Amino acid sequence: MQLMDLRKQGIDIQENIPLSRFTFTKTGGPAQYLAFPKNLNELELLVDTVKENNIPLTVIGNASNLIIRDGGISGLVLILTKMDTIVANKDEATVTADAGARIIDTSEAACEAGLSGLEFAAGIPGSVGGAVFMNAGAYGGETEFVIKSVRVLTRAGEFKTYTHDEMEFGYRHSVVQETGDIVVSATFGLEPGDKWAIKAKMEYFNGLRRAKQPLEYPSCGSVFKRPAGHFVGPMIIKAGLQGKRIGGAEDSMKHAGFIINVGGATATDYLDLIYLIQKTIKKDFGIDLQTEVRIIGKEKD
Protein backbone atom coordinates (compact mmCIF):
# COMPACT_ATOMS: atom_id res chain seq x y z
CA MET A 1 0.00 0.00 0.00
CA GLN A 2 1.24 3.47 -0.85
CA LEU A 3 1.27 6.19 1.80
CA MET A 4 -1.27 8.50 0.19
CA ASP A 5 -3.66 5.57 -0.25
CA LEU A 6 -4.23 5.77 3.51
CA ARG A 7 -6.32 8.90 2.96
CA LYS A 8 -9.05 6.61 1.64
CA GLN A 9 -9.16 5.08 5.11
CA GLY A 10 -9.79 8.46 6.71
CA ILE A 11 -6.23 9.16 7.85
CA ASP A 12 -5.29 12.83 7.68
CA ILE A 13 -2.20 12.97 5.42
CA GLN A 14 -1.06 16.12 3.63
CA GLU A 15 1.78 16.87 1.22
CA ASN A 16 4.41 19.62 1.17
CA ILE A 17 3.12 21.46 4.24
CA PRO A 18 5.26 24.23 5.83
CA LEU A 19 6.19 23.08 9.33
CA SER A 20 6.47 26.72 10.40
CA ARG A 21 2.69 26.48 10.88
CA PHE A 22 3.28 24.13 13.80
CA THR A 23 6.64 24.96 15.39
CA PHE A 24 6.74 27.29 18.39
CA THR A 25 9.49 29.33 16.70
CA LYS A 26 7.21 29.85 13.65
CA THR A 27 10.12 28.71 11.45
CA GLY A 28 10.97 25.59 9.49
CA GLY A 29 10.72 24.20 5.97
CA PRO A 30 8.09 21.85 4.55
CA ALA A 31 7.28 18.25 5.37
CA GLN A 32 7.19 16.03 2.30
CA TYR A 33 4.27 14.23 3.94
CA LEU A 34 2.53 15.21 7.17
CA ALA A 35 0.06 13.02 9.07
CA PHE A 36 -2.13 13.47 12.15
CA PRO A 37 -3.17 9.99 13.35
CA LYS A 38 -6.24 9.97 15.58
CA ASN A 39 -5.67 6.62 17.31
CA LEU A 40 -3.29 3.70 17.71
CA ASN A 41 -4.71 1.84 14.71
CA GLU A 42 -3.96 4.76 12.40
CA LEU A 43 -0.51 5.24 13.92
CA GLU A 44 0.32 1.55 13.49
CA LEU A 45 -0.87 1.60 9.87
CA LEU A 46 1.26 4.66 9.10
CA VAL A 47 4.36 3.09 10.65
CA ASP A 48 3.81 -0.18 8.78
CA THR A 49 3.31 1.65 5.48
CA VAL A 50 6.46 3.76 5.69
CA LYS A 51 8.40 0.64 6.66
CA GLU A 52 7.08 -1.26 3.64
CA ASN A 53 7.91 1.62 1.30
CA ASN A 54 11.26 2.54 2.89
CA ILE A 55 10.08 6.08 3.67
CA PRO A 56 11.87 8.06 6.41
CA LEU A 57 9.76 8.73 9.51
CA THR A 58 10.04 11.67 11.91
CA VAL A 59 7.90 12.38 14.99
CA ILE A 60 7.84 16.00 16.15
CA GLY A 61 5.45 15.95 19.10
CA ASN A 62 4.07 19.40 19.83
CA ALA A 63 7.07 21.04 18.05
CA SER A 64 7.80 23.24 21.06
CA ASN A 65 11.45 22.44 21.89
CA LEU A 66 12.42 22.03 18.26
CA ILE A 67 14.14 23.81 15.38
CA ILE A 68 13.43 22.44 11.91
CA ARG A 69 15.92 23.60 9.31
CA ASP A 70 14.64 25.64 6.35
CA GLY A 71 15.00 22.73 3.91
CA GLY A 72 12.28 20.85 5.77
CA ILE A 73 11.99 17.10 6.33
CA SER A 74 11.92 14.31 3.74
CA GLY A 75 9.54 11.41 4.19
CA LEU A 76 6.66 11.30 6.65
CA VAL A 77 6.34 13.63 9.64
CA LEU A 78 3.94 12.60 12.41
CA ILE A 79 2.20 15.04 14.74
CA LEU A 80 0.33 13.14 17.45
CA THR A 81 -1.72 16.00 18.93
CA LYS A 82 -5.02 14.32 17.96
CA MET A 83 -4.10 11.47 20.32
CA ASP A 84 -4.68 13.38 23.54
CA THR A 85 -6.75 11.32 25.99
CA ILE A 86 -5.91 11.85 29.69
CA VAL A 87 -7.25 9.55 32.43
CA ALA A 88 -6.68 10.25 36.13
CA ASN A 89 -7.11 7.39 38.59
CA LYS A 90 -7.35 8.87 42.05
CA ASP A 91 -7.54 5.46 43.77
CA GLU A 92 -4.27 4.30 42.21
CA ALA A 93 -2.71 7.80 42.30
CA THR A 94 -1.87 7.67 38.59
CA VAL A 95 -2.52 9.72 35.48
CA THR A 96 -2.21 8.05 32.08
CA ALA A 97 -1.95 10.36 29.09
CA ASP A 98 -1.61 9.82 25.35
CA ALA A 99 1.60 11.08 23.77
CA GLY A 100 -0.16 13.94 21.99
CA ALA A 101 -1.74 15.36 25.15
CA ARG A 102 -0.19 18.57 26.39
CA ILE A 103 1.85 18.08 29.54
CA ILE A 104 0.17 21.27 30.83
CA ASP A 105 -3.26 19.63 30.48
CA THR A 106 -1.91 16.48 32.11
CA SER A 107 -0.69 18.42 35.14
CA GLU A 108 -4.09 20.13 35.38
CA ALA A 109 -5.88 16.76 35.25
CA ALA A 110 -3.65 15.57 38.09
CA CYS A 111 -4.50 18.68 40.07
CA GLU A 112 -8.23 18.19 39.57
CA ALA A 113 -7.86 14.64 40.89
CA GLY A 114 -5.92 15.86 43.94
CA LEU A 115 -2.69 14.19 42.79
CA SER A 116 0.67 15.86 43.38
CA GLY A 117 3.95 15.53 41.49
CA LEU A 118 3.31 17.19 38.13
CA GLU A 119 3.18 20.77 39.38
CA PHE A 120 6.54 21.53 37.77
CA ALA A 121 5.02 20.83 34.34
CA ALA A 122 2.18 23.35 34.68
CA GLY A 123 3.78 25.76 32.19
CA ILE A 124 5.83 23.45 29.96
CA PRO A 125 4.33 23.83 26.46
CA GLY A 126 5.31 20.42 25.06
CA SER A 127 3.40 17.17 24.66
CA VAL A 128 3.57 14.18 26.97
CA GLY A 129 5.53 12.29 24.32
CA GLY A 130 8.02 15.14 24.01
CA ALA A 131 8.35 15.46 27.78
CA VAL A 132 9.14 11.76 28.04
CA PHE A 133 11.49 11.80 25.04
CA MET A 134 13.66 14.58 26.45
CA ASN A 135 12.98 14.12 30.16
CA ALA A 136 11.60 17.64 30.36
CA GLY A 137 11.91 19.48 33.62
CA ALA A 138 11.52 22.82 35.38
CA TYR A 139 11.77 24.30 38.88
CA GLY A 140 13.46 21.26 40.37
CA GLY A 141 11.08 18.72 38.87
CA GLU A 142 11.76 16.32 36.03
CA THR A 143 9.59 13.90 34.08
CA GLU A 144 11.64 10.94 35.28
CA PHE A 145 10.67 11.63 38.90
CA VAL A 146 7.02 10.78 38.21
CA ILE A 147 7.10 8.27 35.34
CA LYS A 148 5.75 4.84 36.23
CA SER A 149 5.71 3.30 32.74
CA VAL A 150 5.83 4.30 29.08
CA ARG A 151 4.10 2.57 26.19
CA VAL A 152 5.78 2.80 22.77
CA LEU A 153 5.40 1.66 19.19
CA THR A 154 8.71 0.42 17.83
CA ARG A 155 9.86 1.22 14.31
CA ALA A 156 9.29 -2.48 13.59
CA GLY A 157 5.59 -1.89 14.31
CA GLU A 158 5.37 -3.63 17.69
CA PHE A 159 3.88 -2.22 20.91
CA LYS A 160 5.89 -2.59 24.11
CA THR A 161 5.93 -1.10 27.58
CA TYR A 162 9.02 0.27 29.33
CA THR A 163 9.29 0.39 33.10
CA HIS A 164 10.73 3.49 34.71
CA ASP A 165 14.20 1.95 34.99
CA GLU A 166 14.14 0.71 31.40
CA MET A 167 13.66 4.30 30.21
CA GLU A 168 17.27 5.10 31.24
CA PHE A 169 16.46 8.71 32.04
CA GLY A 170 19.23 11.28 32.31
CA TYR A 171 19.55 15.03 31.96
CA ARG A 172 17.31 15.82 28.96
CA HIS A 173 17.69 12.21 27.87
CA SER A 174 15.72 8.97 27.64
CA VAL A 175 16.35 5.64 25.98
CA VAL A 176 13.87 6.33 23.16
CA GLN A 177 16.31 8.90 21.78
CA GLU A 178 18.50 5.93 20.89
CA THR A 179 15.88 3.32 20.00
CA GLY A 180 13.69 5.54 17.83
CA ASP A 181 10.60 4.08 19.50
CA ILE A 182 7.50 6.26 19.28
CA VAL A 183 6.00 7.14 22.65
CA VAL A 184 2.25 6.50 22.50
CA SER A 185 1.32 7.01 26.18
CA ALA A 186 2.80 7.42 29.64
CA THR A 187 1.58 6.60 33.12
CA PHE A 188 2.63 8.95 35.91
CA GLY A 189 2.83 7.71 39.48
CA LEU A 190 1.81 10.55 41.78
CA GLU A 191 0.99 11.25 45.43
CA PRO A 192 -2.37 12.19 46.97
CA GLY A 193 -2.46 15.85 47.92
CA ASP A 194 -4.67 18.83 48.58
CA LYS A 195 -6.12 20.11 45.32
CA TRP A 196 -5.89 23.77 46.32
CA ALA A 197 -2.30 23.48 47.54
CA ILE A 198 -1.38 21.78 44.27
CA LYS A 199 -3.12 24.52 42.27
CA ALA A 200 -1.36 27.24 44.29
CA LYS A 201 2.04 25.68 43.56
CA MET A 202 1.23 25.49 39.85
CA GLU A 203 0.15 29.12 39.81
CA TYR A 204 3.34 30.10 41.63
CA PHE A 205 5.51 28.36 39.03
CA ASN A 206 3.51 29.92 36.19
CA GLY A 207 3.95 33.35 37.77
CA LEU A 208 7.71 32.83 37.81
CA ARG A 209 7.60 31.74 34.19
CA ARG A 210 5.64 34.81 33.09
CA ALA A 211 7.99 37.12 35.00
CA LYS A 212 11.23 35.64 33.70
CA GLN A 213 10.52 34.25 30.24
CA PRO A 214 9.67 36.05 26.97
CA LEU A 215 6.36 34.25 26.49
CA GLU A 216 5.03 37.08 24.33
CA TYR A 217 7.30 36.01 21.43
CA PRO A 218 7.62 32.77 19.47
CA SER A 219 10.54 30.73 20.79
CA CYS A 220 11.75 27.17 21.30
CA GLY A 221 12.12 27.67 25.04
CA SER A 222 15.44 27.29 26.78
CA VAL A 223 17.99 26.75 24.00
CA PHE A 224 21.01 25.35 25.84
CA LYS A 225 21.62 22.66 28.42
CA ARG A 226 23.06 23.94 31.69
CA PRO A 227 26.77 23.09 31.95
CA ALA A 228 27.86 21.67 35.30
CA GLY A 229 28.71 24.49 37.67
CA HIS A 230 27.57 27.29 35.36
CA PHE A 231 24.45 29.19 34.31
CA VAL A 232 23.96 29.87 30.61
CA GLY A 233 22.16 33.23 30.82
CA PRO A 234 24.82 35.06 32.87
CA MET A 235 27.57 33.79 30.56
CA ILE A 236 25.71 35.09 27.51
CA ILE A 237 25.25 38.45 29.23
CA LYS A 238 28.93 38.66 30.19
CA ALA A 239 29.88 37.81 26.62
CA GLY A 240 27.87 40.82 25.43
CA LEU A 241 25.43 38.78 23.36
CA GLN A 242 22.14 39.48 25.13
CA GLY A 243 19.99 41.35 22.62
CA LYS A 244 22.14 40.18 19.70
CA ARG A 245 20.03 39.80 16.58
CA ILE A 246 20.59 37.85 13.37
CA GLY A 247 17.78 38.37 10.91
CA GLY A 248 14.56 37.99 12.87
CA ALA A 249 16.12 35.88 15.64
CA GLU A 250 17.17 37.69 18.81
CA ASP A 251 18.73 36.61 22.09
CA SER A 252 16.04 37.74 24.51
CA MET A 253 16.57 40.80 26.69
CA LYS A 254 14.15 39.24 29.17
CA HIS A 255 15.95 35.89 29.47
CA ALA A 256 19.32 35.44 27.76
CA GLY A 257 18.84 31.67 27.57
CA PHE A 258 15.96 32.15 25.10
CA ILE A 259 16.15 33.04 21.42
CA ILE A 260 12.96 34.68 20.18
CA ASN A 261 11.43 35.36 16.78
CA VAL A 262 10.93 39.12 16.71
CA GLY A 263 9.50 38.96 13.20
CA GLY A 264 10.30 37.12 9.99
CA ALA A 265 12.97 34.86 11.47
CA THR A 266 14.10 31.78 9.60
CA ALA A 267 15.49 28.60 11.09
CA THR A 268 18.84 29.62 9.60
CA ASP A 269 18.69 32.87 11.61
CA TYR A 270 18.13 30.81 14.76
CA LEU A 271 20.95 28.41 14.01
CA ASP A 272 23.41 31.17 13.06
CA LEU A 273 22.71 32.88 16.39
CA ILE A 274 23.09 29.59 18.28
CA TYR A 275 26.44 28.92 16.61
CA LEU A 276 27.63 32.45 17.37
CA ILE A 277 26.74 32.05 21.04
CA GLN A 278 28.44 28.65 21.22
CA LYS A 279 31.60 29.96 19.54
CA THR A 280 31.76 33.02 21.78
CA ILE A 281 31.15 31.13 25.03
CA LYS A 282 33.84 28.63 24.05
CA LYS A 283 36.29 31.47 23.38
CA ASP A 284 35.45 33.51 26.49
CA PHE A 285 34.81 30.75 29.05
CA GLY A 286 36.25 27.56 27.55
CA ILE A 287 32.85 25.87 27.80
CA ASP A 288 31.18 23.84 25.06
CA LEU A 289 27.50 24.79 25.21
CA GLN A 290 25.24 21.92 24.17
CA THR A 291 21.77 22.59 22.78
CA GLU A 292 18.75 21.44 24.71
CA VAL A 293 16.55 22.23 21.73
CA ARG A 294 16.32 19.44 19.16
CA ILE A 295 17.57 20.45 15.69
CA ILE A 296 16.40 18.38 12.74
CA GLY A 297 15.72 18.60 9.01
CA LYS A 298 17.65 19.55 5.88
CA GLU A 299 19.51 22.70 4.94
CA LYS A 300 17.76 24.75 2.29
CA ASP A 301 19.13 24.24 -1.23
Q: What is the per-residue pLDDT across 228-280, written as a single tens digit (0 to 9) for each? A: 899 999 999 999 999 999 999 999 999 999 999 999 999 999 999 999 999 99
> Is 292 a residue of the active site?
yes
- pLDDT band per the 50, 70, 90 thresholds, residue 1: confident
- Contact in structure between 70 and 249 (CB atoms under 8 Å): no
The reported pLDDT for the residue numbered 276 is 98
Cα–Cα distance for residue pair 261/259, rounded to 1 Å: 7
Instruction: Give yes or no for residue 112 having a pLDDT over 80.
Output: yes
> Is 178 a residue of the active site?
no
| Local structure of residue 293 (DSSP, 8 states) | S
- Contact in structure between 76 and 54 (CB atoms under 8 Å): no
pTM of structure: 0.93
> Is 219 a residue of the active site?
no
Q: Which of 116, 172, 174, 294 is catalytic?
A: 172
Q: What are phi and psi of 297, to 5 degrees?
A: 95, 180
Q: Which of 20, 174, 219, 222 is catalytic?
A: 222
Cα–Cα distance for residue pair 168/186, rounded to 1 Å: 15
Angle in degrees, 0-180, between the axes of helices 195-212 and 103-112, rounded to the nearest 10 = 150
